[in-house]
Amino acid sequence: MSRQSIYEPRQSRARKDLFPLLDVNEIYCCLIDCGFEITEELINKPNKDFVCNLYENLIDIYMGIPQGRIREKAREFSQRPDPSMVQYQEITGNVVLPSEEERNANEPGVDYSSLYLILLRKYMARFLITLGIDDLCLGDLAKPDGYRFRRILSAVINFLRFREEKNIALEELAEKCEAKEAEIEETNEKNRALLNKINTLKRKLEFDSATEEKRSNLQQINAYNRKLEKKLRELKSKQEVLTKKHEVYKQEKKSAIEKLNDLDYIITELQDKISDLKKYSETDIANTVKIIEKLSSDLENSNAELQDMERKYQNAGITIDSIQVSEIASKDLIRVAEEVLENIEKREIEVKILNGNKAQLESLGRKQIDLQGQLQLLEAQVKKSEKYYHDLLKQAEVKDAAMKERLEEQKQEFSKALIEKSDHSKEHKRILDQITRVEQDTARCEEEFVKQTNEYIQKMQILSTAFTDYMNDLKNAI
């Protein structure tokens, strides 16, 4: 990183910002309301410690970096050893690290306080860029200026006011979210209550309420289920018969309505004829009387048929009501039957599981018998192995005597090998001379590397001294 990127020159006070420059009193009141410990004198004449602590508080609140974390990170970086020294120590085998005083003496200007200011400037600059300030430099931390400090605080207060306005607009949304969370919690409570009820009902189904034992008598359940199935089949057959009767009744009702309409039409026509015949009552009374008597008889017959049709119609209505009641009862029985079928399926699954457990138990019993047989075979093999072990001991004694003879022969051969070793020692000496030459070359390379490393360290010290001088000149210029 170049010096220009770290130590940026101070901008002139004619810079145009996107936020208003507040006076000291307004800045003081706003920061006091926000809970910061500050005075008007510190705003006009800020010092390094106060500015650093204030900036750390802002980074903690608005960037989520805990206060003190930047100091810890700077301390961690300052305690890391120089990579070139670590490489040199790994090559030479000297793993003793220099002390902190020696490291600070070898690297002037690179210490904890400098690293702390660099890290704090990095995080604070990242925060201020979003507020409209992009010219924060190390001088604003090491030797803060009253005007620039007031400008930075004005940008922060402008950001706080903007954030407060947006928070007011989002309060309704936050309340809705809290209400939704309460509803979700209530729903979860209801779900847990329903789950407890389901577990209770499941326990009642699986265990007998009187003895608190698990239900295991499946024969009675199967017999009861068979009775329910038989009853269900009977109800289905009755339902089919009633359905057919209902269809027949609909046809009869339809035909009766048609006959009733026909009779109404006939009665209307007869009434018209009667009105016509009344005109002729004065002229031919005898014929009129006969016609009237005939029409009366026809009318009485029609009324009788009409009454008969009304009685049938009323009976048909009663039959329809009874059929509807039967349909409702049939639906209830079908629902009960479906539940019974589900229970039957569950019991059949339990029976299958029970049968599977029985089969596994029988299989384990057979395996136990097989293991007992294998155990007996192993005992016989152990006895056989003991006998074989005793035989081996006897054979070992015989072989031991033979090995002693063989050892004597090997001693004689060893004496011959000593003679041959003298010939190999010359070759060994030649290899040792070659290893010595390689070690001398390695030592020479190490000396050259140490020399180059010392030169690099001297150059780094010169650069560090120049950097320190530049810092001092910059501070004096500020």
Q: What is the dihedral of CA 223, 224, 227, 233, to 10 degrees?
A: -120
CB-based contact 113:49 (threshold 8 Å)? no
* pLDDT, position 148: 92
Q: Residue 116 to residues 68, 72, 111, 142, 407: CA-CA distances in angstroms?
A: 10, 9, 9, 11, 77
> Taking Cα atoms as reference points, which of 9, 110, 130, 5 lies closest to residue 58?
130
Architecture of domain 218-369: Orthogonal Bundle (1.10)
Joined tokens for residue 285 = 């009374």
| Per-residue pLDDT tens digits for 78-98 | 887 655 544 444 444 444 445
Long-range contacts of 84-90 (CB under 8 A, 24+ apart): 84/453, 84/456, 84/457, 88/449, 88/450, 88/453
CA–CA gap between residue 366 and residue 384 (Å, rounded)? 27
Phi, psi dihedrals of residue 384, rounded to the nearest 5°: -65, -40
Low-confidence ranges of the chain (pLDDT < 50): 1-14, 85-97, 101-102, 104-109
* pLDDT, position 95: 45
CATH of domain 3-169: 1.10.418.60
CB-based contact 121:137 (threshold 8 Å)? yes
CB-based contact 60:67 (threshold 8 Å)? yes
* pLDDT, position 431: 76
CA–CA gap between residue 363 and residue 260 (Å, rounded)? 81
Joined tokens for residue 196 = 């407890």
Helix (H, G, I), strand (E, B), or coil: what is residue 233?
helix
pTM over 0.75: no
DSSP designation for 215: -
Domain ranges of the chain: 3-169, 173-215, 218-369
The answer to whether the Cα torsion of 91, 92, 93, 99 is positive or negative is negative
Joined tokens for residue 410 = 């090997």
> Taking Cα atoms as reference points, which of 62, 58, 69, 13 lies closest to residue 36?
58
DSSP designation for 18: S
* pLDDT, position 379: 67
* pLDDT, position 409: 77
List, as one string, the DSSP characters of 93-109. Answer: S--PPPPHHHHHHHSTT
* pLDDT, position 113: 84
CA–CA gap between residue 229 and residue 231 (Å, rounded)? 5
CB-based contact 138:6 (threshold 8 Å)? yes
The answer to whether the Cα torsion of 375, 377, 381, 382 is positive or negative is positive
* pLDDT, position 147: 92
Instruction: Please compute Rg for the chain using Cα positions.
Output: 56
Query: Apex CA 340: angle with CA 338 and CA 344, to 5°?
Result: 115
Q: What is the dihedral of CA 298, 300, 301, 305, to 10 degrees?
A: 140
* pLDDT, position 52: 92
* pLDDT, position 241: 85
Which residue has 């030459």 as its token pair?
Answer: 437
> Taking Cα atoms as reference points, which of 42, 71, 73 lies closest to residue 56?
71
* pLDDT, position 151: 92
Answer yes or no: same fold for 3-169 and 218-369. Answer: no
